[in-house]
Amino acid sequence: MLARRVSAPALARVALALAALAGAARADAALPPSAWRYRSNADLASALDALHAGPCAGVSSVTSIGTSVQGEELRVLEVSTDPGRTQAKPSFAFLGNMHGDEPVGRELILRLAELVCLAGAPGARADGGVGVAPATITVAEPGDERFFETARHLALRARLFFAPTLNPDGFAARARGNARGVDLNRDWPDQYGSVSDDGSATSTTNTRMPADALETRQPETAAALSWSRTVNLTGALSFHEGAVVANYPWDAKRGSRRAEYARCPDDAAFRRLARAYADAHPTMHLSKEFEGGITNGAKWYPLWGGMQDWHYVVTGTLDVTIEVNDEKFPRATELGRLWREHRGGIFAAATTATRGALRGFVRDASTREPIANAALTVEGVEFPFAPNALGFFARPVASGDVERKNDATREKNAEKPFAASLAVTAPGYVAAAQTATVDPVDGADLVFEMVRVEGGARGGAGGGGSPSSPNRETRGGSASVVDAARFGGRDFVDVAPRRRIEPATPVSPGRPHPEAVWGGAAFVILAAAATIRKRRARTARGRGVSRVEGV
């Protein structure tokens, strides 16, 4: 494995301990957020260690997920109530500086981590905390205090990952690519292969994602890819520069380089996420170039081998690319302004993704053991995603009926609950599906109690007997067959109890899971199969396409 723990330098620990002892104002002295500057790679690493030892002590871990071509460590700071361990929570990552000459994300992510820890971490510490108490928060930028509550909620409810740089060598050289000149946002496996310079596609069929082929990737890509496979991210923001817009999949499209809308199956959920960001930004949503401040990647300009499409297909992560500034590598004196402009969107997107989700557990009906090798499929999405080792899953969803409407209609219906269906298969179990009524803000909780197939046959495609099999009767009522065609032609049976059930309960009784106290997410498991209408909106044509190399 590439990941390994990095211990904070002793000096940083001492400095932070002294700072904490010295009082409130000193906390920021060790990691001066008000003195905006671009930190060197060495200073960035030290800053993460200082956060880990100071404001984030007790609720963080720092890992090196790999090294760059020139041997710089790629560090990720995790902040959560049980850092370094799989948890029954959604997870969200903030990823920066994949393009070396787009460094703003480095500093935004660092500042974000500090704010989350200062505001949120103390409440997450069971023993009352070893870090800085809430009352000692030093406001670095006016208005930061407005986000303390949101930050606190995020720190409690999610696993948060902060990766300020995915391309330290490029940063040091003020270059887009890595030390070998390779554009890392073209280096990921791509579902369509790629398109050559003359516009001819190397693959015209959708192959979904080819193998990782780590040996053919740049070390930075291989590190990020391998790490991502281990953390089961619910959502992510990746920070770039060269425009002001929130860009969502697909980035790639089949066949040609022509810019046109390439709609992914989760278009509504992505639009909602991107819009949450743009609307919370003072100017992004007013963009003259991008309607609402958001854009489908391929409609802007298609690209192949990017991270966000891979994330979506392979790990089920809703990853949105945020272009933070028209000018690349702006002066450091602009960083304070950029932080003030983007912090609202950052919190809005992270909250939207981790809260407005279908979430729950997949477990054995009789033993209650998690089924980690289950495959979950959202209705209408042809590729499955997996729960984590605890059987927990979280998947942001949105109503297509709402998202595709104009602003007024969308606002009117924004709070209206909608139906979403989720299907589960697991080897040795009867396939299952449930339809939930989803609260747009709070999402919905689902528990799949999977029933073993008698005689050890495998569930899922081709297994588990016919839909009329009496084996499919489960506790809580008679099973009903769900339209198999909607879930890729497989047979699914609704094994949901026909009653209101309690929100997801902790898998391990000895360890409290904060998601159990989210509350308010009342949900109903509907007996009937989904009735979600599929509206296949026409592929929108490229509008006002501008080619930049910022993404």
Residues serving a catalytic function are 323
Single residue of 49, 102, 379, 494 touching Zn ion by CB under 5 A: 102
φ and ψ at residue 526, rounded to 5 degrees:
-85, 145
Rounded Cα distance between 391 and 474, Å, is 20
String of contacts with Zn ion for each residue 411-450, x by CB under 5 A: ----------------------------------------
Rounded Cα distance between 393 and 372, Å, is 10
φ and ψ at residue 15, rounded to 5 degrees:
-60, -45
- CB of 242 closer than 8 Å to CB of 328: yes
Query: From the CB of 312, what's the least distance to Zn ion, in Å?
Result: 18
Task: Please confirm whether the linkage preceding 250 is cis (ω < 30° from 0).
Answer: yes
Q: Choose one: 18-26, 93-101, 201-209, 533-541; the region binding Zn ion (CB under 5 A).
A: 93-101
Which residue lies nearer to Zn ion by CB, 247 or 352? Answer: 247
Any idea which residue has 């099973």 for tokens? 479
Query: From the CB of 183, what's the least distance to Zn ion, in Å?
Result: 9
Q: Which of 133, 496, 541, 114 is nearest to 298 (CA)?
A: 541
Query: From the CB of 245, what's the least distance to Zn ion, in Å?
Result: 12
- CB of 209 closer than 8 Å to CB of 311: no
Q: Let me know how many helices (H) and strands (E) the chain has, helices first.
A: 13, 18
Query: From the CB of 102, what's the least distance to Zn ion, in Å?
Result: 5
CA angle 147, 149, 150 (to 5 degrees): 65
Which residue lies nearer to Zn ion by CB, 54 or 105? Answer: 105
Indicate whether 99 belongs to the interface with Zn ion (CB under 5 A). Answer: yes
Look at strands 432-438 and 418-425 and give their pairing.
antiparallel
String of contacts with Zn ion for each residue 331-370, x by CB under 5 A: ----------------------------------------
Q: Choose one: 100-108, 122-130, 198-206, 230-238; the region binding Zn ion (CB under 5 A).
A: 100-108
Which residue lies nearer to Zn ion by CB, 3 or 303? Answer: 303
Q: Long-range contacts made by residues 503-512, C-beta under 8 angstroms, separation at least 24?
A: 503/445, 504/88, 504/359, 504/360, 504/361, 504/392, 504/445, 504/446, 504/447, 506/88, 507/88, 507/361, 507/363, 507/368, 507/370, 507/390, 507/391, 507/392, 508/390, 511/82
Rounded Cα distance between 48 and 69, Å, is 21
Indicate whether 101 belongs to the interface with Zn ion (CB under 5 A). Answer: no
Torsion angle of C-alpha atoms 115, 118, 123, 129, degrees rounded to 10 = 150
Query: From the CB of 103, what's the least distance to Zn ion, in Å?
Result: 11
If 0-12 CB within 10 Å is exposed, 13-18 middle and 19+ buried, where does residue 415 land?
A: exposed
**Integer angstrom CA distances of residue 277 from 145, 271, 353, 417:** 19, 10, 11, 21
Indicate whether 106 belongs to the interface with Zn ion (CB under 5 A). Answer: no
String of contacts with Zn ion for each residue 288-327, x by CB under 5 A: ----------------------------------------
State the number of binding residues for Zn ion (CB under 5 A).
Answer: 4
Query: From the CB of 166, what's the least distance to Zn ion, in Å?
Result: 11
- CB of 413 closer than 8 Å to CB of 401: yes
Q: Outline where 83-209 has alpha helix (H).
A: 104-124, 148-157, 168-173
Rounded Cα distance between 346 and 328, Å, is 19
Contacts of residue 380, Cβ cutoff 8 Å, sequence gap at least 6: 265, 486, 532, 534
Query: From the CB of 328, what's the least distance to Zn ion, in Å?
Result: 8
Which residue lies nearer to Zn ion by CB, 177 or 550? Answer: 550
First to last CA, the chain: 29
Query: From the CB of 549, what's the least distance to Zn ion, in Å?
Result: 7
Which residue lies nearer to Zn ion by CB, 99 or 299? Answer: 99
φ and ψ at residue 93, rounded to 5 degrees:
-120, 145
Of residues 222-241, which lie at the interface with Zn ion (CB under 5 A)? 240
Which residue lies nearer to Zn ion by CB, 58 or 550? Answer: 550
Which residue lies nearer to Zn ion by CB, 240 or 253? Answer: 240
Q: Choose one: 48-56, 102-110, 265-273, 484-492; the region binding Zn ion (CB under 5 A).
A: 102-110
Q: Choose one: 2-10, 95-103, 409-417, 444-452; the region binding Zn ion (CB under 5 A).
A: 95-103
Query: From the CB of 171, what's the least distance to Zn ion, in Å?
Result: 12
Which residue lies nearer to Zn ion by CB, 90 or 105? Answer: 105
Residue nearest to Zn ion (CB): 240
Which residue lies nearer to Zn ion by CB, 51 or 338? Answer: 338
Which residue lies nearer to Zn ion by CB, 323 or 449? Answer: 323
Query: From the CB of 240, what's the least distance to Zn ion, in Å?
Result: 3
Q: How many CB atoms lie within 10 A of CB 274?
A: 28
Would you state the structure tokens that stand for residue 219, as one six-digit string?
């070390």
Contacts of residue 292, Cβ cutoff 8 Å, sequence gap at least 6: 275, 278, 279, 285, 407
Indicate whether 267 belongs to the interface with Zn ion (CB under 5 A). Answer: no
Binding site for Zn ion (CB under 5 A): 99, 102, 240, 550
